[in-house]
Homo-oligomer: A and B are copies of this chain.
Amino acid sequence: GPICKTGNPVTDDIKLIDELVGNLPNDYKIQIKYISKVPNVTDTCWLHLTVPEMSFSLDVLLEKFAKNSSNYLIIENLHRILDGIHNCLSDDKKDYHEESEFSCEKSNLEPKQYFSYFNEIITAFQLAEDTNPCDAE
């Protein structure tokens, strides 16, 4: 994404998401604080909220697998991508949770929904412009 100065953190490991989803029970529920996109707010602003929540959720998920398992290794790599994205986001100490435009709800998502949300975050990052994060349009 153009907002990143230190190279692209999004590696080819995102191609392993389908393999991971197919290797998880399709009715398993993964907990995450889900934040809907809203109009009139930039993707960058949305990323400031969603990336830390997704990173936390992936970390909890990771610990449910054996360290040498294929699912563990893929989740670990996806977590690394998110950390890379997080490092690219400007560190302006603003409390983005105060932004009233967003509603954040604790959700339990099945693997397919959960990683579709993950992909939405990756896409938003790749399309995001380096603007002041939460400027309204």
Contacts and interface: CB of A to CB of B under 8 A. Distances in A.
Contacts of A70: 23, 70
A69 B19 contact: yes
A68 interface: yes
A84 to B, nearest CB: 25
A22 interface: yes
Interface in A23-65: 23-28, 61, 64-65
Main secondary structure of the interface of A (DSSP, over half): loop
A24 B23 CA distance: 8
A21 interface: yes
B69 A26 contact: no
A69 B71 CA distance: 11
Contact of A66 (B22, B69, B72): B22
Contact of A24 (B25, B26, B68): B25
Given A22-B68, A25-B61, 17 more contacts: A22-B66, A22-B69, A22-B72, A23-B23, A23-B71, A23-B72, A24-B25, A24-B65, A25-B25, A25-B28, A25-B64, A25-B65, A26-B64, A26-B65, A27-B64, A28-B28, A70-B70
